[in-house]
Amino acid sequence: MDAMDTILTRRSIRRYTADRVSEELITAVLEAAMSAPSAGNQQPWHFVVIDDRALLDQVPLFHPHTAMLKEAQVAILVCGDPDLEKHPGYWPQDCAAATQNLLLAAHAAGLGAVWTGFYPREERVVAMRKLLNMPDRVIPFALVPVGWPAEEKPPALRYDKARVHTNGW
């Protein structure tokens, strides 16, 4: 799949088969995530791979939009670490770029994935930190359930010429 096909056909997948995702594929999507651009190339992120069923099943108790974790075999938590920033305040943009790369790499590999947001919802951030025994300085940004898709979605044609402005509004 070439880059444009990957971008234009990626969809949020919330249903997964029971098939295991290999460690090699998890490493590949993490490599893509860590290849994202970041302010000053400081890469102020950490990633937590969660494949413990007991942990995955607890997340929907405090995040109302993560029911798909009941089927996912693994999820990857993208976290920001402001202590690693060279340019303060840019870590959310950096983590967003890493999350998008992760989603695109998963899709290109034939996996399904979906972005579930944690930051800036303080109650979700605090609950996830507690669940995973994370340091206070690290901020859970997004959790990406990953698995072999048990649903297919057609490409969404989202280009809207009315949203494009040239040389001014």
In a domain, 165, yes or no: no
Q: Structurally, how many domains does the chain consist of?
A: 1
pLDDT at 68: 98
Low-confidence ranges of the chain (pLDDT < 70): none
What residue numbers bound the domain in which 51 lies? 3-151
- CATH (domain of 39): 3.40.109.10
The predicted model scores a pTM of 0.96
Specify the residue for token string 């109650």. Answer: 123
In a domain, 58, yes or no: yes
